[in-house]
Chain A
C-alpha cells in the first residue's frame, strides 16, 4: 500500500530536549516536505527536499533541521524544542511537477497521518 508514515504519532517533551520525528514514503517520490498546522493558520511549510541531499527552507524553518540522506526518508529534527513549537506536524511526499514554466502542475502530495507534538 502506497503511504507516508510518521513516527511518533504523539509526543510530549520538555523544553530543550532534542527530538526527531521520522518520515518515510514507499512511493519512490523525489519531493518531500514538512508542514506544521496550527489553528487559524492552516499548514505552513517548514522545509522541503527536491531530492536526495537537496533541501531548502520553507516559510517557517527557524528551530528546525532536516536531512535527506535516502530518497524514502526525511526526518525532522528539533535540536532544542520550545513551547512555540507545540503543533501538529505533517510530512508529505509527491511526484515531480509537470507542465511548462508559469503553469506547472504540482504533483499530488500524499500526507502522512500527522505527529502531535507538545513541548512543555
Chain B
C-alpha cells in the first residue's frame, strides 16, 4: 500500500513567521496535489505539481515536487491568521489514473 506521510501533524505559529510542511513517500507518484480544508467544509485544491523538481508559487505559498517525484513541500512565507486550516497532500499512483492517496494532514494555527 502506498503511503504519504505528512509532517508536522500540528503547527502553531505567530503571524508573520515562515513555515514548511512536508509530504514524503517511498513510492513514486505521477502527480501531487495540495489541498486546504476549513472546519465544516470539504478540501479545496491549492495546486497540482507533475514534473520532478517543479516549483509553483501561489502568492505567499510555494510548492515543490521532489526530483524523484516521491516527496513534496509547502512553504508559507509571512503566515497570516487566514492561513489557518488543515493542509493535505494527495498523490496520484503510477498504476492508477483515478486513485488518489491522501496524507494524514497538517493542522496549522496562525496566531494573531
A and B associate in one complex: yes
- Chain A's nearest CB lies how many Å from the CB of B33? 6
Chain B residues with a Cβ closer than 8 Å to the other chain, count: 29
Q: Which residues of chain B are near A35, meaning CB under 8 Å?
A: 102
When each residue 38-65 of chain B gets 1 if its CB lies under 8 Å from chain A and 0 otherwise, what string results?
A: 0011111100101100000000000000
Report whether A105 and B104 are in contact in the complex, using a CB–CB cutoff of 8 Å: no
The listed residue (B43, B44, B48) touching A106 by CB distance below 8 A is: B48
A103 to B9, CA, bound (A): 28
B102 touches A99 (CB 8 A): no
Q: Which of A56, A102, A113 contacts B98 (CB 8 A)?
A: A56
A24 touches B (CB below 8 Å): no
Which residues of chain B come closer than 8 Å to A1, judged between CB atoms?
Answer: none
Nearest CB to that of A104 among chain B residues?
Answer: B30
The chain B residue with its CB closest to the CB of A50 is B98
How many interface residues does chain A have, given as a range?
20 to 34
Residue of A nearest to B33 (CB): A106
User: Is residue B108 contacting chain A, with contact meaning CB distance below 8 A?
Assistant: no
Q: Do A114 and B41 touch across chains, with their CB atoms under 8 A apart? A: yes
User: Are A106's CB and B40's CB within 8 A?
Assistant: no
**Which of A41-49, A63-71, A77-85 forms part of the interface with chain B?**
A41-49
Chain B residues contacting A111 (CB-CB under 8 Å) are 41-44
Chain B interfacial positions (CB closer than 8 Å to A): 1, 4, 6, 9, 30-31, 33, 40-45, 48, 50-51, 88, 90, 92, 94, 97-105
